[in-house]
Structure 1
Amino acid sequence: MSLKDYQSEVLDRYEAFLHAWRAQAEANPGTRQASRLAFEQCTQANFGFRIPYHAPEALAADDVPVVCLRVPTGGGKTVIGGHAIARAKRALPLGERSLTVWLVPTDAIRTQTLRVLKTPGELLYRELRTLFGEVAVLDIDEALAVPPSVLDGHDTIIVATMQAFKQADTERLAVYRANGALMEHFRGIEGSGWSLVEALALRRPFIVVDEAHNQGSELAFDTLARLAPSAVLELTATPDRLHQPSNVLVSISASTLQSEDMIKLPVDMAVHPDWRIALREAIAQLGALQREADAECVATGEVLRPIMLLQAERQQKDNPDAMTVDRVRAALIDEFGIPAAQIARSATGVDELVDVDAAALRFVITSDKLREGWDWPAAYVLMSFRGSSTQMALEQVLGRVLRMPQVTRKQHEALNRAYAFAVSSNIAEVAATLRDGLVQAGFERQDINDLVRTVMPQADGAEDLLRQNASVSLSLPMAGDAVVLPDFSQMPDATRKRIEGKLDISPETGSMTLRGQWKPAEQKALQDAFAGTTAAAGLERAFNRLAAPVELPVQTPSERGEAFSLPLLAWSQGDWLVDLGDAPPLEGTLALGEIDPLLDEAAYPRELETLQRRRLQMNDAGRLHLDPLEKLDVQMGLFGVRDTASVEDLLWTLEQHLSAADLEPDELSAWLSGVLRHLQEARGFSIDELAYRRPRLREALGERIAAARRMGHRQRFLDLLGDETQMSADARLQCVFKSGRYAWDSLYNGFITLPKHFFPQIGNLKSQGEEFECADFIANRLDGVRDWVRNIERKHGAFSLPTSKQRFYPDFLLRMQDGRMLVVEYKGAHLYNDPDQVEKRRIGALWARRAGKGFGFVMPKQKEWSAIQQALDDMRA
Structure 2
Amino acid sequence: MELKRYQKTTLETLEQFLKELHKAGLKYAFMGITEKPYRAEAFGEVPFVCIKIPTGGGKTLVGCHAVEKVMSGALQNKLDRGIVLWFTPSEAIKTQTLKKFKDRKDPHRRVLDEAFDNSVKIFSNEEALSIRKADVADNLCIVVASLEAFRKEKSLQNKYKVYQENGALLDHFEHIEEPDFLERDSEGTVINSLANVVRLSNPLVVIDEGHKTATKLSIDFLKDLNPSFIVEYTATPRDNSNILVEIHASELKDEQMVKIPIVLESAAQWQNALTRGIEKRIELEKDAKKIKGEYIRPIALLQAQPKNKDGNTITVEHIKEFLIERKIPTEQIAIKTSEKNELEGVDLFSRSSDIRYIITVNALAEGWDCSFAYVLVSVANLGSKIAVEQIIGRIIRLPYAKKKANEDFNRSYVFASARNFNEAAEQIISGLESNGYSRSDIIGADKKDTSYELEAKKAILDTLKVPMMALDGDQLTFEDLVGSDFELSKQDYKFEFQIHYDNDGRAIIDIKNEDEWMRGKQMFLKLNYSDKNFTKNELVQWLDKKLRFPLLEKSDKVGFLDKAIDYQLKSHTLSELSVNRYVLADRLSEVINGILEEYAKERFDSLLQKKKITTEPFDAFPATITLKQAIPQEFNRNYYEKTDKLNREELEFVQRLDLDTLSNIKYWVRSREKIDPFYIQGWKRGKFYPDFVAVTKKGNIIALEWKGADRVSNEDTAYKVKIGEIWSNLGGNKLHFFLVHTGNVEEVLKEIKEL
Deviation, 1:771, is 5.0
Asked whether the equivalents of residues 633 and 696 of structure 1 are also in contact (C-alpha less than 8 Å), the reply is no
CA distance in 2, matches of 1:14, 1:319: 53
The residue type equivalent to 1:388 in the other structure is L
Deviates more, 1:66-75 or 1:768-777: 768-777
The aligned counterpart of 1:141 is 126
Does 2:689 correspond to 1:695?
Answer: no
Deviation, 1:822, is 5.0
Query: Equivalent residues in 2 for 1:608-687 (5 A)?
Result: 632-633=521-522, 637-638=526-527, 644-658=533-547, 660-682=549-571, 685-687=572-574
The aligned counterpart of 2:59 is 77
TM norm structure 1 = 0.73
Asked whether the equivalents of residues 507 and 524 of structure 2 are also in contact (C-alpha less than 8 Å), the reply is no
CA distance in 2, matches of 1:429, 1:138: 45
Structure 1 pair 442–340 and aligned structure 2 pair: CA distance change class (3 A): same
CA distance in 1, matches of 2:330, 2:102: 35
Query: Equivalent residues in 2 for 1:112-511 (5 A)?
Result: 112-134=96-118, 135-167=120-152, 168=154, 169-189=156-176, 194-241=192-239, 245-296=240-291, 298=292, 301-315=293-307, 320=312, 322-335=313-326, 337-356=327-346, 358=348, 359-370=353-364, 372-386=366-380, 388-389=382-383, 393-443=387-437, 448-456=438-446
Structure 1 pair 844–420 and aligned structure 2 pair: CA distance change class (3 A): farther
CA distance in 1, matches of 2:646, 2:384: 34
CA distance in 2, matches of 1:351, 1:160: 24
Deviations 1:272-297 (A, max 9, x none): 3244444343333333433443333x
Structure 1 pair 195–103 and aligned structure 2 pair: CA distance change class (3 A): same
Deviation, 1:159, is 0.9
The aligned counterpart of 2:679 is 800
Structure 1 pair 375–606 and aligned structure 2 pair: CA distance change class (3 A): closer
The residue type equivalent to 1:201 in the other structure is R
Deviation, 1:748, is 3.5
Deviation, 1:802, is 3.0
Structure 1 pair 604–284 and aligned structure 2 pair: CA distance change class (3 A): farther
The residue type equivalent to 1:136 in the other structure is K
Structure 1 pair 713–389 and aligned structure 2 pair: CA distance change class (3 A): farther
Does 2:629 correspond to 1:742?
Answer: no
Give SS of 1:420's match: strand
In structure 2, stretches of 5+ residues that fail to align are 179-189, 509-516
CA distance in 2, matches of 1:696, 1:164: 37
Structure 1 pair 249–384 and aligned structure 2 pair: CA distance change class (3 A): same
CA distance in 2, matches of 1:703, 1:718: 22
Asked whether the equivalents of residues 79 and 525 of structure 2 are also in contact (C-alpha less than 8 Å), the reply is no
CA distance in 2, matches of 1:786, 1:714: 36
Structure 1 pair 836–810 and aligned structure 2 pair: CA distance change class (3 A): closer
Structure 1 pair 757–380 and aligned structure 2 pair: CA distance change class (3 A): farther
Deviation, 1:66, is 1.1
The aligned counterpart of 1:4 is 4
Structure 1 pair 230–635 and aligned structure 2 pair: CA distance change class (3 A): farther
Give SS of 1:865's match: helix
Deviation, 1:836, is 2.4
CA distance in 2, matches of 1:392, 1:560: 43
In structure 1, stretches of 5+ residues that fail to align are 25-33, 45-49, 459-551, 615-627, 850-854, 872-877
Q: 1:709 aligns with which of 582, 592, 596?
A: 596
Deviations 1:609-647 (A, max 9, x none): 886599xxxxxxxxxxxxx99753367644889764433
Structure 1 pair 274–631 and aligned structure 2 pair: CA distance change class (3 A): closer
Deviation, 1:866, is 5.0
Give SS of 1:223's match: helix
Asked whether the equivalents of residues 22 and 632 of structure 1 are also in contact (C-alpha less than 8 Å), the reply is no
CA distance in 2, matches of 1:194, 1:262: 46
May I ask how many residue pairs the two structures share in their alignment? 715
Deviations 1:538-594 (A, max 9, x none): xxxxxxxxxxxxxx99999936999985336579999xx864437756544653345
TM norm structure 2 = 0.83
Give SS of 1:442's match: coil
Deviations 1:676-732 (A, max 9, x none): 3333323xx3322222221111111112112222333444455555556987425xx
Percent identity between matched residues is 27
Query: Equivalent residues in 2 for 1:509-524 (5 A)?
Result: none
Structure 1 pair 842–608 and aligned structure 2 pair: CA distance change class (3 A): same
Deviation, 1:789, is 3.8
Q: 1:810 aligns with which of 687, 690, 696?
A: 690
Asked whether the equivalents of residues 729 and 847 of structure 1 are also in contact (C-alpha less than 8 Å), the reply is no
Asked whether the equivalents of residues 97 and 156 of structure 1 are also in contact (C-alpha less than 8 Å), the reply is no
Does 2:87 correspond to 1:103?
Answer: yes
Structure 1 pair 557–596 and aligned structure 2 pair: CA distance change class (3 A): closer
The aligned counterpart of 1:604 is 498
Query: Equivalent residues in 2 for 1:573-612 (5 A)?
Result: 579-581=475-477, 587-588=483-484, 590-600=486-496, 603-606=497-500
CA distance in 1, matches of 2:454, 2:96: 42
Deviation, 1:762, is 2.8
Asked whether the equivalents of residues 466 and 701 of structure 2 are also in contact (C-alpha less than 8 Å), the reply is no
Asked whether the equivalents of residues 507 and 522 of structure 2 are also in contact (C-alpha less than 8 Å), the reply is no
Deviation, 1:819, is 12
Asked whether the equivalents of residues 311 and 384 of structure 1 are also in contact (C-alpha less than 8 Å), the reply is yes
Query: Equivalent residues in 2 for 1:772-791 (5 A)?
Result: 772-778=652-658, 789-791=669-671
Deviation, 1:87, is 0.2
Give SS of 2:266's match: strand
Deviations 1:32-77 (A, max 9, x none): xx43333223322xxxxx2241331xx42xx211111111111111
Deviations 1:360-393 (A, max 9, x none): 2222222235153111112222222246256983
CA distance in 1, matches of 2:335, 2:713: 62
Deviation, 1:330, is 2.0
Asked whether the equivalents of residues 382 and 420 of structure 1 are also in contact (C-alpha less than 8 Å), the reply is yes
Asked whether the equivalents of residues 507 and 523 of structure 2 are also in contact (C-alpha less than 8 Å), the reply is no
Asked whether the equivalents of residues 563 and 736 of structure 1 are also in contact (C-alpha less than 8 Å), the reply is no
Structure 1 pair 162–186 and aligned structure 2 pair: CA distance change class (3 A): same
Does 2:617 correspond to 1:729?
Answer: yes
The residue type equivalent to 2:251 in the other structure is T
Q: 2:73 aligns with which of 66, 88, 91?
A: 91
Structure 1 pair 643–677 and aligned structure 2 pair: CA distance change class (3 A): closer
Deviations 1:114-158 (A, max 9, x none): 111111332212222222221211112322222233223322211
Deviation, 1:221, is 2.9
Deviation, 1:799, is 4.0
Deviation, 1:654, is 1.8
Give SS of 1:810's match: coil
Asked whether the equivalents of residues 727 and 735 of structure 2 are also in contact (C-alpha less than 8 Å), the reply is no
Give SS of 2:569's match: helix
CA distance in 2, matches of 1:819, 1:704: 47
Asked whether the equivalents of residues 313 and 385 of structure 1 are also in contact (C-alpha less than 8 Å), the reply is yes
CA distance in 2, matches of 1:107, 1:235: 17
Structure 1 pair 153–73 and aligned structure 2 pair: CA distance change class (3 A): same
CA distance in 1, matches of 2:28, 2:750: 41
Give SS of 1:310's match: strand
CA distance in 2, matches of 1:22, 1:452: 43
The aligned counterpart of 1:525 is none
